[in-house]
Amino acid sequence: MLEIKNLQVKVGGKEILKGIDLSIGRGEVHAIMGPNGSGKTTLAQVLAGRLAYEVTGGSVRFEGKDLLAMRPEDRAREGVFMAFQYPVEIPGVSNAYFLKAALNAIRKYRGLEEIDAMDFMGLVQDKAKLLGLDETFMKRGLNEGFSGGEKKKNEVFQMAVLEPKFCILDETDSGLDIDALRLVANGINTMRSPTRSMLVVTHYQRLLDYVIPEHVHVLVDGRIVKSGDADLARNLEKHGYGWILEEAPRPQPARA
């Protein structure tokens, strides 16, 4: 489904990703772990289409199409969804309005008719229940005055409504108490299916106790230095990143 080859990315002139290779098959859940500053969020943002990131080399193909050539909105319409680490607050735009606009933009791109108001309300109520969001939430401004936990729930809620093919979860567990974490994890697990793939970006293994990935990759200094299964995540939790850093091949010093 997603094929990343030798992806190199600069941010503000600084090289952050130094050649990422990653292949994610249909229905697979991959986790990217790594210490702070390793480039995890950069990878997530580049896949979602953030403009501030300069791709200096490599390619990303999504279902055979050149993902990097697409505008952010077209990536979303093709089925890519990123749950933001820091969702944006937009007062004056209700959650309901926003989500309906998004859903209809995606439906239009796919040649479907706009969803009618009754169907939309039905769809939204079911998904909101799944995440323990109450009814007033849809009328409130988008993420306006939401707690950290509510914002993260809202991201997964949007994901549940928009039903993307490929989900990127960027530090979705950060700032969640255990109850919220269970709700969010349950929301994510409900969405796992043989046709939907996920990339879970996380610093800690906590979320991975609930959302168990098939593949775990460790990102250090812009490179994937180790890949394994869910046990790798548990080892990282137990022993920290130190041993990986020891094992990891040192980058060759640049020579003129």
Partner 1 sequence: MATDGSSRRHRGRSRPGPRPVTNVAVALDAKQTWIAEFASSEPDLAGPAWLRPIRKQAIARFEAAGFPTQKHEDWRFTNLAPLLRVPFKPAILGRPDGVLAERLEPFSFGVLKTSRLVFVNGQFSPRLSYLRPLPEGVRVASLAEILRNDPGSVEKDLARHAKYEDDAFVALNTSFFTDGGYIEIPKGTVVEEPIHLVFVSTSHEMPTVSHPRNVVRLGARSQATLIETYAGWAPDVTFTNAVTEISAGPGSVLDHYKIQRESESAYHIATMTVDQDRDSNVMCHSMAFGAALSRSYVHTNFHAEGGSVALNGLFMPSGVQQADNYTRIDHAAPACTSVELYRGILGGKSRGVFNGNIYVRKDAQKTVARQTNKNLLLSKEAFVDSTPGLEILADDVKCNHASTIGQLDENAIFYLRSRGIDEEAARHILTYAFASDVVNQVKVAPIRIKLDQLILSRLPKGAGPGEGL
For residue 186, the minimal CB distance to partner 1 (Å) is 22
Cβ-proximal residues to 88 (8 Å cutoff; 6+ apart), any chain = 142, 143
Which residue in the set 76, 131, 138, 156 belongs to the binding site for partner 1 (CB under 8 A)?
76
Which residue in the set 51, 178, 254, 256 belongs to the binding site for partner 1 (CB under 8 A)?
51
Which residue in the set 23, 69, 101, 135 belongs to the binding site for partner 1 (CB under 8 A)?
101
Distances (CA, A) of 213 to 189, 230, 232: 11, 6, 10
Region binding partner 1 by CB under 8 A among candidate stretches 35-43, 80-88, 121-129, 191-199: 80-88
Distances (CA, A) of 256 to 9, 53, 56, 250: 22, 27, 20, 18
Q: Which residues in 123-152 contact partner 1 (CB under 8 A)?
A: 141
Contact flags string 161-200 toward partner 1, x per CB under 8 A:
-x--------------------------------------
Burial class (CB in 10 A: 0-12, 13-18, 19+), 232: buried
Binding flag, residue 84, partner 1 (CB under 8 A): yes
Does residue 185 contact residue 193 with C-beta atoms inside 8 Å?
A: no
Question: How many angstroms separate the CA atoms of 103 and 73, rounded?
Answer: 12
For residue 121, the minimal CB distance to partner 1 (Å) is 13
One-letter amino acid identity for 225? V
Which residue in the set 1, 67, 106, 181 belongs to the binding site for partner 1 (CB under 8 A)?
106
User: What value, to the nearest 5°, has the Cα angle with vertex 9 and ends 6 and 13?
Assistant: 145
Binding flag, residue 72, partner 1 (CB under 8 A): yes
Question: Tokens representing 54?
Answer: 């300069």
For residue 147, the minimal CB distance to partner 1 (Å) is 18
Q: Based on CB atoms, which residue is closest to partner 1, 48 or 236?
A: 48
Strand, coil or helix: 83: strand
Site residues for partner 1 per CB under 8 A: 48-51, 71-73, 75-77, 81-82, 84, 87-88, 90-94, 97-98, 101-103, 105-106, 109, 141, 158, 162
